[in-house]
Amino acid sequence: MAQAYWSSVFTSSADEIWAVVRRFNGLPDWHPGIRASEIIGGGGGLTPGALRLLTGVDGSIYRERLVALDDADRKLSYEIVEAPLPVRGYRSTLHVQPAANTGGAFLSWHATFDPAEGTTAQDATAVLEAAYAPALAGLHTIIA
């Protein structure tokens, strides 16, 4: 399995960051590449099994399933069901932790996946990390 990873340090508290990140249907609020999100099955947007339909700003469609939501540990895990990405078996976790020395927070976004046929792990990782970076930058813009 291949892996992708991105992280960022925030001056806002872990609880403030988690309040935004935990909303499975809230990605368009902070990811500049996502125009819309709709929960299309599996219960509410905070229940494991929830299925979201994301629409990219370029019109691309992504279907993703919430795997786990752990408020105590501030972790959200999801998997891609269908997406125009060069990956298979994608599972990702966003984890928000307090930064004890500053009162801020540290957010990590980690994924495991297999590269799609005809794609190298390095190329697939680059595509994913190119999506994570502006997402976390977007999160910085909405959290003061």
Boundaries of every domain in the chain? 2-142
CATH topology of domain 2-142: Alpha-D-Glucose-1,6-Bisphosphate; Chain A, domain 4 (3.30.530)
Torsion angle of C-alpha atoms 142, 57, 91, 96, degrees rounded to 10: 0
So what's the pLDDT on residue 55? 98
31-42 pLDDT per residue, tens: 999 999 999 998
82-111 pLDDT per residue, tens: 999 999 999 999 999 999 888 899 999 999
pTM: 0.94
Widest CA span of the chain, in angstroms? 45
Query: How many Å apart are CA 94 and CA 143, to the nearest integer?
Result: 17
Query: How many Å apart are CA 68 and CA 105, to the nearest integer?
Result: 21
